[in-house]
Each structure stands twice: as C-alpha cells, then as structure tokens.
Amino acid sequence: MEKILDKFLRYVSYDTASDPDSPTQPSTQKQLTLLNVLLEELKAMGINDATLDQYGYVMATIPSNTDKEIPPIGFIAHVDTSPDASGAGVCPQIISSYDGSPIVLNASANLVMNPADFPELADYEGNTLITTDGTTLLGADDKAGIAAIMSAAEYLMENPKIKHGTVKIAFTPDEEIGRGVDKFDVERFGAKYAYTFDGGQLGELEYENFNAAMARIEIRGRNIHPGYAKNKMLNALLIGMELNFMLPVDRRPELTQGYEGFFHITSFRGTVENASLQYIIRDHSFEKFKEMKKLLEEIVVFLNLKYGAGCVHLEIQDQYYNMCKQIEPHFHIVEKALNAIKAAGITPVVHPIRGGTDGARLSFMNLPCPNIFTGGHNFHGKMEYIPLESMQKASEVVLRIIEEYTKT
C-alpha cells in the first residue's frame, strides 16, 4: 500500500482552486484533473463501479461482505482548494520530529510560524509536520480528507477478511465556494448516513454549524461637482459606510466566538455615484439568524426614507442551515463517530462549526452527515500545516466508524 504521506503529497501537487465567479460546475476545469486521478485510483484498487459524472462528482462503492443488516455508510471529501490563496505550485516542507521551535516557512519573505502566535503547535512536538513554503496554501483542506478516505478504502480492498457493510465514497468539487453539493444526487450515492472528513484539529467532531446567508447591497448615489454639491450630492460610498456603522459593532467575526454569530463585510466597492457591498450573515440560532436578516432589511428601509426611495437595494440569499436539526433524530451516527474516535486512542473534541460544510447541506437533503477532523490547521493561507500523525489517525477513524456499524 502506498503510504498516506505519499498520497497526500501527490494530491496537493494538483492546483484545484475553485472560482466563485465561474458559472460552470465544476467551477474550474482543473478540478477534473484530480477527480480523474482519483477515479482511476479507485478502479485500480478493484472498486469497479467508480464513476465521474459531468458535474464533477466521483462516486464509488465497496460492497458489503457480511450477511448482517448494515445501512450503507458514506465518506465524503472535496477536491477544491480555497481561492483565498494560490494553490498552484505547492511545495510542501516536511519537518520530522518537530522540536517546538519557530518554523521558517520562507526566509526571503521573512515568513515565520511562531508558537507564540500559534500555541497549538506545542501539541505536536515530536510529530512530523507538513507545512507550506510560504508562497501558497498547502491544500490539506481537503486533500487530507481525500488521503484519509483513499487510504482506508485501499486497506479494506487489500484485506477482504475484514467484515464490513456497504461503504460509499464520494469526492466533490466547489465546496469552498458553497456549491459543493448543488447537483449531488443523494439517491444515486446510495448511503443512508455519511460523514464528511473536512474538519481541523485532531479529534474534532462537528454536528452543529452556522445558519448562513449572503447579502448584496447596491447603492445609487448622485454625483454633483463638489464645489456645487450642497443639498444635491448623494455620495454612495458614504451611504455604504453609514449602513455598515448601523450594524452592531460587537457582531463582527474578530469579536465573536463559540455560538456567537456575526455580520462580515466581504466586499465594498464603488464611486460617488454607485457602490456595492457584500456581507455574509452567520448564527447558530435560527431565531437570531432571522433577526439579523430583519435588522439589515430595516436599516435599508431607513436609508431609503432618508435618502430617497430606491437609493439602496438589498438582496439576501440563504446559503445553508444548521445541520443539528437534521442530525439529532439520528444521533446514533454521532455516537458511533465518538466511539470510533475513542477507539483510535483520541480524545474527542466536540464543538460547533463556525462555518459550514457540504455535510450541512446534505443533511437537509436527507443524508445526515456530521463532520470529522483531518488534522489540519490554518486553512486557506500560507501558514497552513498538518501533522502527519493526525492525518493517519483520520484514516484510522474511517475504518473504526465502519467497524462500529458492524456491531449494530
């Protein structure tokens, strides 16, 4: 069997960044390169029904080899990397037996990962760390998840005496831009329950996430020569700033944690005559989520009364909801994951996701789908890293979950 490290290093060599401005699915053709590689690897293992469809979904089945009645269980990871940082030409650095000292990622750029800034590094002394070279992201989000699932699948295929139920595998595109399961065919996939391997630190298990919406605001100003603008000019930029400062200051990402939600301005562009703003709105409580959207609507009404009807236009689009509502009726899937993590010698770390996963949307598509760690840290940036031992444990947890269902 190929070592999980070799798989991971090979997968991150492919640039698979998704593109939020592309109308196609997958949003970038380069994702299909890795998807085709994964398809051929699955077939080479002897998984003969592996397919890749027109939308960029790889699906495969390892058939049950037991007479027990065991529900089909799915394992899912995404191939795309975040467009927030370059994923081209990734050159990982491998640090064996990490000694706890600062890690120089890129000397010429004076980019150093210091334990004083990232205290969790102390947890990994003695581990093998895989880091970036300080010029790109690493791609552990979510190629570590892919490596964990592929290694577990290979192990099952190489060891047919291990009894298991039907195992379903899927690799998806475009998760990072919120479109990862837009065309995912749950019925064709065929799993009754599933797990995304797309989490962070060792032991992490998540079955709660934000309710999420995107808000787009267009402001129409009125440009007049500034020397003669009194009582005539409407500066769209200033109106946008006014709107932003009417939102609660303590509900910004940098000031929130745990279950606390936020308004996050992601874009502000324009001129005196026209301006546009984009926000993401997040909260774990559905009632608070509704209140936040209502507040933004009320602010827009106020500004239109102040500056004239039609000055400010708001469009809010819900993106996903808290999967807890869909998972709690099937809580045994969380309990089995907890048992599997403990059986792998790991202390579970259960907390809400301050974000979302494909699993959140799949849970509302009648496929309950908690999220499990891969071991990575500092995703989406040049300081991303992953301990090899954590990724190995993630692969073990895949196998332990499969084992848990044979006990049913």
Q: What is the pLDDT of residues 134-186, one digit of tens each?
A: 999 999 999 999 999 999 999 999 999 999 999 999 999 999 998 999 999 99
Q: Which of 15, 142, 154, 175 is catalytic?
A: 175
Q: Please report where in the chains the tokens 């269980």 appear, as a residue.
A: 73
Q: What is the pLDDT of residues 71-82, one digit of tens each?
A: 999 999 999 999
pLDDT at residue number 243: 98
pLDDT at residue number 2: 67
129-131 and 58-62 strand pairing: unpaired
Tell me, yes or no, if the pTM score tops 0.85.
yes
pLDDT at residue number 396: 98
Closest CA to 166 of 257, 70, 272: 70
Residues 6+ away with beta carbon under 8 Å from 257: 354
Q: Is 176 among the residues known to form the active site?
A: no
Residue ranges of domains in the chain: 4-208+322-406, 211-320
pLDDT at residue number 355: 82
CA distance 193 to 363: 9
Q: Is 80 among the residues known to form the active site?
A: yes
Domain 211-320 has CATH 3.30.70.120: no
**Contact at 8 Å (CB) between 368 and 330?**
yes
Phi and psi, residue 16, nearest 5°: -130, 30
Where the chain has pLDDT below 50, the residues are 1
CATH of 4-208+322-406, one of 3.40.630.10, 3.40.50.720, 3.40.50.2300, 3.30.1490.20: 3.40.630.10
- Dihedral sign for Cα 93, 94, 99, 100, please: positive
CA distance 354 to 368: 19
